[in-house]
Amino acid sequence: EVTPLDKLPGPPRKPIVGSTFEFLNISPREMFLKIREFTRDYGDRYVIKIFKRRILHINSVKDVEIVLSHSRNIKKSMPYTFLEAWLGTGLLLSSGAKWHKRRKILTPTFHFNILKSFAVVMEERTRGLVERLRGAGGAEVSLMPVISDYTLFTICETAMGTQLDADKSKSTLAYKKAIMDIGALLLARLTRVWLHNDYIFRKFPIGKQFEKYLHQVHSFADNVIMERKKTWRPGQGDFKEDDESIGKKKRLAMLDLLLEAENKGEIDFEGIREEVNTFMFEGHDTTAMAVVFGLMLIADHQDVQDRLYEELQTILGDSDKAPSMADLNDMKFLEAIIKETLRLYPSVPFIAREITEDFMLDDIPIKKGVEIAVHIYDLHRRADLFPDPETFKPDRFLNGDPIHPYAFVPFSAGPRNCIGQRFAMLEMKCVLSGICRNFKLSRTTNARPALTADMLIRTEEPVLVKFIPRKV
């Protein structure tokens, strides 16, 4: 049966196999480039058929709004299921009633006062990072390993109350390594169609390796949860607006709030474990990529760097004081830099849904079972939304909002938007302000790096930046 979707353009579709062979054995970089070509050649909507799967790809603001704002089509599509062995059906992967319930329990975790206590952790870690960069003595630093340490330590301390960097025990180091390696294995699997089947995957060495890392990650998280539970007392995860001790004497972790929810019968141990693992995953790599691209762009644009330094001087002076929440809120130019970074390099370049309820995409009926890929990367680089789209211009975000509420969606939008976006903005502001008030950044090459993507956007080559201390 020919459906309206079959009339849409797309790479040649053969009987039965569809376009499957276009994608066999191609590298992630080739895949990334192919999608950009398709967008250029086929426009706002195109369909890729992989055997029976019909995947509609969209990048126009009108379509993106309809899909992301739909209140019931919130199910994630096939590639996400590879994450399930690690994350369970925590907030990122769940759907239906379970998702609604969890979202309700977890939303208060990002209340202003809780973020305030997390900011203390972020500030402390930023100081450590600044010292580490100072240690490089002005030589080039490869950003990703250093920055992902920072974001991993921060999420570990805020989500679980555990200090990864202070603790050099074997299990801690193994945990850090396992988290990093799982990401690489997931990508390897995503690009090898024959490993998509769970049974086959487990038979291959890569599958066995994956199991081993999973075991390490899960048992580490389980231990932390058990330990915290031993000393936990009811009320520990309660919050009061005027509690001055928060963040000082009282170190709060997301885990305390989850244990509070368990005490009220809202979530069980398995649920806590799913959410801890989900936040460890979603909460570090995404932010690390954004900080890496942010530092790269700041180093490449001297004029922007000068204006940022001036803003930081105006707000913080020559002092060494930690910025308050109000100070961070005043950093409007830094905020514009971060947004413009996320426009050009959205950490999550695309998201995908499986349609569970028929709906109209404007003029086209979309049936249950169709998958839709929303290309945030291509949306953000449309000239009709962002004139001169390839150019880094933070000023776009200083003069009011983008022309359409769905034109800029690095954190997605609608019911399944990023629950951690305020956490992420806070962390990015802490770390970028901390670095830029202490160092002058420069690069030897200012070419834009070749991009690629797994679940997140990446660079082919390491991003190298020099950090010259502003004062000794």
State the DSSP H helix or E strand holding residue 465, giving kind and residue range, or none if neither.
Answer: strand 464-469
Q: How far is the CB of 342 from ligand HEM (least distance, A)?
A: 6
CB under 8 Å to 5, separation ≥6 — which residues? 47, 54, 56, 364, 366, 370
Count residues binding ligand HEM (CB under 6 A): 23
Q: Considering the complex, what minimum distance in angstroms separates the CB of residue 55 from ligand HEM?
A: 15
**Positive or negative torsion for Cα 376, 210, 219, 250:** negative
CB nearer to ligand HEM: give 149 or 282.
Answer: 282
Q: How far is the CB of 413 from ligand HEM (least distance, A)?
A: 9
Nearer of residues 175 and 423 to ligand HEM, judged by Cβ: 423
Burial of 63 from C-beta contacts in 10 A (0-12 / 13-18 / 19+): buried
Nearer to ligand HEM, 102 or 466 (CB): 102
The nearest distance, CB 271 to ligand HEM, in angstroms, is 13
Secondary structure letter of residue 323 according to DSSP: P
Minimum distance, C-beta of residue 98 to ligand HEM, in the bound complex (Å): 11
Stretch in the footprint of ligand HEM (CB under 6 A) among 142-150, 283-291, 316-324, 399-407: 283-291
Binding span for ligand HEM by CB under 6 A among 47-55, 193-201, 220-228, 281-289: 281-289
Span 61-90, contacts to ligand HEM by CB under 6 A? 76
Residue 82 near residue 46, CB atoms below 8 Å: no
* Cβ(431)–Cβ(291) below 8 Å: yes
Minimum distance, C-beta of residue 318 to ligand HEM, in the bound complex (Å): 30
Binding mask 240-279 for ligand HEM (x = CB under 6 A): --------------------------------------xx
Say how far apart CA 12 and CA 87 lie, in whole Å.
36
State which of positions 402-461 bind ligand HEM (CB under 6 A).
410-412, 416, 418-420, 423-424
Q: How far is the CB of 343 from ligand HEM (least distance, A)?
A: 11
> Which positions from 327 through 356 interact with ligand HEM, judged by CB under 6 A?
347-348, 351
Q: Is 436 annotated as a binding residue?
A: no
Helix (H, G, I), strand (E, B) or coil at 359: strand
What are the contacts of 296-301 at 24+ separation with CB within 8 A? Answer: 296/143, 296/443, 296/449, 296/463, 296/465, 297/337, 297/340, 297/341, 297/344, 297/392, 298/337, 298/432, 298/436, 298/441, 299/441, 299/442, 299/443, 299/446, 299/465, 299/466, 300/392, 300/443, 300/446, 301/392
Query: Which DSSP string corresponds to 67-82?
Result: HHH-SS---B-GGGGG
Q: How far apart are CA 88 and CA 300, in angstroms?
A: 41
Nearest-approach distance from CB 13 to ligand HEM, in angstroms: 26
Nearer CB in complex with ligand HEM: 323/420:
420
Q: Is 91 in the site for ligand HEM (CB under 6 A)?
A: yes
Contact code string over 290-329 relative to ligand HEM, x by CB under 6 A: x---------------------------------------
Spatial distance between the Cα atoms of 13 and 11, rounded to a whole number of angstroms? 6
Q: Where does this chain bind ligand HEM (CB under 6 A)? A: 76, 91-92, 103, 278-279, 282-283, 286-287, 290, 347-348, 351, 410-412, 416, 418-420, 423-424
Extract the annotated binding site for heme.
Answer: 418
